[in-house]
Amino acid sequence: MFESYFSQRIKNTPSSFIREILKVTQKPEIISFAGGLPNPISFPQEELKVSMNRIADKFGAKIYQYSTTMGLDSLRQFIVDRYKRIWGMDITIDNVIITTGSQQALDLIGKVFINDGDKVLVEKPSYLGLLQAFCLYRADFVQSKLNDDGLDIEDLKNNLKTHKPKLAYLIPNFQNPTGLTYTAENRKKVFEVIKDENLILIQDDPYGELRFEEGERIPYIGLNENEKNIYLGSFSKIVTPGMRLGYIIANKEIIKMIETAKQASDLHSNIFGQYLISDYLYNNDLDKHIEKIKKLYKSQAGAMVSAMEKYFPKSVKFTHPKGGMFTWVTIQEGKSVTDLFDKAIAKKVAFVPGHPFYVNPQNVNTLRLNYTNADEKTIEIGIERLAQALEEI
Amino acid sequence: MFESYFSQRIKNTPSSFIREILKVTQKPEIISFAGGLPNPISFPQEELKVSMNRIADKFGAKIYQYSTTMGLDSLRQFIVDRYKRIWGMDITIDNVIITTGSQQALDLIGKVFINDGDKVLVEKPSYLGLLQAFCLYRADFVQSKLNDDGLDIEDLKNNLKTHKPKLAYLIPNFQNPTGLTYTAENRKKVFEVIKDENLILIQDDPYGELRFEEGERIPYIGLNENEKNIYLGSFSKIVTPGMRLGYIIANKEIIKMIETAKQASDLHSNIFGQYLISDYLYNNDLDKHIEKIKKLYKSQAGAMVSAMEKYFPKSVKFTHPKGGMFTWVTIQEGKSVTDLFDKAIAKKVAFVPGHPFYVNPQNVNTLRLNYTNADEKTIEIGIERLAQALEEI
């Protein structure tokens, strides 16, 4: 009845495939590797309860009142201090704006930068939430090949030359959906290739803190060298996603424009949540808390990799994540993950087929598995079921 | 440096004038009638503290985890039950989606309906947050004259005939910025005029519950008769704005599209806040709480009207609000509210000049005053100062 009223942009935007799948897979008998839910153990519940009572007593009405679009100063200062300490960034709170989760950061960047048909370079495969957000601003995507060590440099060069993208969106650490991380060497090469281009480089990093295998943090591409870098971060995977608190770090001129876009989008992010997370961060040891999460995810990822090695046929390949929340599985060429999905659901195990991570999906033989939201035993049972489904296609 | 990168839409969107003014007027010595802040007394702080501890104990990790885009079922059910009881609406929770404040409702509606250049009919003057939100989707606004009893029917007819708008956005109760309310008769006439048009009618109603003068709630335009009605509501003015929780009530087909737009915009609204407000609403008497707010606002509005009658020259006109948070002042023809603003700030009193509420402002001699965030004595002092400033222009 309303078809003729809807905008072109919304008609061209797919509903999130994952969110649709999640509706199907919520039945308790199904073992779901489909979502991207952090393990509830990563929520410091006791400490947050202390903090919520403390901010209620300390700040009174302020935690319930309207607030500024840029976000709570103390929370922005925490981010500044952390990025200064870890990365030596020369920033102030004017370089930081709080967003309603990282997803809103993507929406705001779309608003601020994308005209109809502007080219945006993304990884192949890329995060579907980004594809959905930028699709609403009618971006024209270019997908650049992703190898085990990061972006394929030749493919990147060709894409830059052919398409002259205005923006690039990359997830260099424990990428969603593949779990891959760009090596330091690859990052340097990528920067060499892009540094003289008229390109805004967005690096989304929700998982960077979750490195559970040995190795150091690897610096961002063009860190402290590129004025056109935009960094996205989030408290979703290290404190709580339910508060919907992420942030953008960028040049002040960019942040100013994003502030205007955010005024129009939701005025400001939930201020109670900002006080709560800020109080939690200043009164607890975040790094110690993150160690706990990493230990858990390491054992869960280990359980999934071991089970895949034990049960999957040798022709099936998968990534060995060193952090983050996902592994990426490539089944035999010519087989269909859609068929596999149906068989898997019949066997009471769920995953996300690879399709929504591609701009123009065809003959997709890849899928994403999440390991953070099931215990080790359940992971083994689920992978065994999936192996049985693999035999039936 | 980034000028050439920014999108056309953001370059054409003004930064919120009010939010800029608020930065200037935050000095403690200034009496500000500029903001639209609810009085902190309208936040049930004690009860919310009880609720937050209860939901932490009762729901555990759920209040911190990712959640559904549509919003918490119990909160949507509360809205359904209330609108059924008050308005006899035939709706279910599938007709209701939770938004990150009403401002996000405007952004999502823009995403879902507006193609570049689509005509949108709004009141003259209209809510500046709407003008800003739809400007980002490059709407072409048509402003329809607002009288003391509601929309000017002849002007509305002419606008419909000439411009054939796709959407109309109205605030029938205690309008922002004017404080005016459409009479029941005017609403009937408006519906007679629009009912056969291909028009989606958005009725934004953040203030409807705040009728502090005698009189009944007046039914919405086309209530229960118009499939193309969209209703917006909010908990900001009756519980807390800091949680950023509003909602959209509409036909399921529309809600479904808005859900897709919301997935791409912020995944879902803060779930902790949704549990908190839901718990508060089911365990307290909202109507009783609203009575308290109305009593306060009635005395504050009364103080402002009395002071304006006492101090303002007779040539200055103002609305007599029966509810809501604002009064609208019209100074002498030919005088400039920009001059008045400078004189007023020098005298330590602030207001919002009328400009940002018009699509094409020129020779503006109107201004908005908020009375909910100062006590009666302060209101009188502020109005006296403003009267002195009026004498100087």
Interface test with A, best of B6, B7, B127, B248 (most A CBs within 10 A): B7
> Any CB–CB contact under 8 A between B49 and chain A?
yes
State the architecture of B65-283 in CATH terms. Answer: 3-Layer(aba) Sandwich (3.40)
**pLDDT computed for residue B377 by the predictor:** 97
**pLDDT computed for residue A17 by the predictor:** 73
**pLDDT computed for residue B208 by the predictor:** 97
Contact in structure between A177 and A321 (CB atoms under 8 Å): no
- Residues from chain B that touch A17, judged by Cβ atoms under 8 A, are none
Location of structure tokens 């005016």 = B180
pLDDT band at A284 (very low <50, low <70, confident <90, very high): very high
B366-381 per-position pLDDT tens digit: 999 999 999 999 999 9
Selected residues 28-47 of chain B with any CB under 8 Å from a CB in chain A: 35-38, 40, 43, 45
Location of structure tokens 């009756």 = B238
Reported as half-sphere exposure (CB side, CA atoms, 13 A), residue A90 has a value of: 4
Selected residues 359-388 of chain A with any CB under 8 Å from a CB in chain B: none
- Residues from chain A that touch B274, judged by Cβ atoms under 8 A, are none
Contact in structure between B243 and B277 (CB atoms under 8 Å): yes
pLDDT band at A131 (very low <50, low <70, confident <90, very high): very high
The 10 Å Cβ neighbour count of residue A79 is: 22
Residue of A nearest to B66 (CA): A242
pLDDT band at A20 (very low <50, low <70, confident <90, very high): confident
pLDDT band at A123 (very low <50, low <70, confident <90, very high): very high
* Each residue's pLDDT expressed in tens, for chain B with a length of 393 residues: 899 999 999 999 888 777 777 777 778 899 999 989 999 988 999 999 999 999 999 999 999 999 999 999 999 999 999 999 999 999 999 999 999 999 999 999 999 999 999 999 999 999 999 999 999 999 999 999 999 999 999 999 999 999 999 999 999 999 999 999 999 999 999 999 999 999 999 999 999 999 999 889 999 999 999 999 999 999 999 999 999 999 999 999 999 999 999 999 999 999 999 999 999 999 999 999 999 999 999 999 999 999 999 999 999 999 999 999 999 999 999 999 999 999 999 999 999 999 999 998 888 999 999 999 999 999 999 999 999 999 999
- Residues from chain A that touch B100, judged by Cβ atoms under 8 A, are 100, 244, 266, 269-270
| For residues A151-157, average pLDDT | 98
**pLDDT computed for residue B356 by the predictor:** 93
| For residues A82-98, average pLDDT | 98
* CATH T-level topology, domain A3-44+288-391: Aspartate Aminotransferase, domain 1 (3.90.1150)
> Any CB–CB contact under 8 A between B10 and chain A?
yes
Among A149, A238, A166, which residue's Cα sits nearest to residue A202?
A166
- Residues from chain A that touch B9, judged by Cβ atoms under 8 A, are 111, 115
| For residues A355-384, average pLDDT | 94
Among candidates A8, A132, A242 on the partner chain, residue whose Cβ is nearest the Cβ of B272: A242
Is B260 in contact with A67 (Cβ distance < 8 A)?
no
**pLDDT computed for residue A208 by the predictor:** 97
Instruction: Report the complex ipTM.
Output: 0.97
Cα–Cα–Cα angle for A156, A157, A162, nearest 5°? Answer: 100
| For residues A236-262, average pLDDT | 97
Is B65 in contact with A40 (Cβ distance < 8 A)?
yes
Q: Kindly list the domain boundaries of chain B, sorted by start residue.
A: 3-44+288-391, 65-283
Among candidates A64, A136, A260 on the partner chain, residue whose Cβ is nearest the Cβ of B13: A260
* CATH T-level topology, domain A46-283: Aspartate Aminotransferase; domain 2 (3.40.640)
- pLDDT at residue A22 above 90? no
> Any CB–CB contact under 8 A between B268 and chain A?
yes
Q: pTM, whole model, 2 decimals? A: 0.97
Asked if the domains B3-44+288-391 and B65-283 are classified in one and the same CATH topology, the answer is no
Interface test with B, best of A65, A95, A111, A240 (most B CBs within 10 A): A65
Is A251 in contact with B43 (Cβ distance < 8 A)?
no
A181-202 per-position pLDDT tens digit: 999 999 999 999 999 999 999 9
Residue of B nearest to A37 (CA): B66
- Residues from chain B that touch A112, judged by Cβ atoms under 8 A, are 6-7, 10
Selected residues 288-347 of chain B with any CB under 8 Å from a CB in chain A: none
A316-339 per-position pLDDT tens digit: 999 999 999 999 999 999 999 999
Is A107 in contact with B53 (Cβ distance < 8 A)?
no
As a whole number, the mean pLDDT across chain A is 96
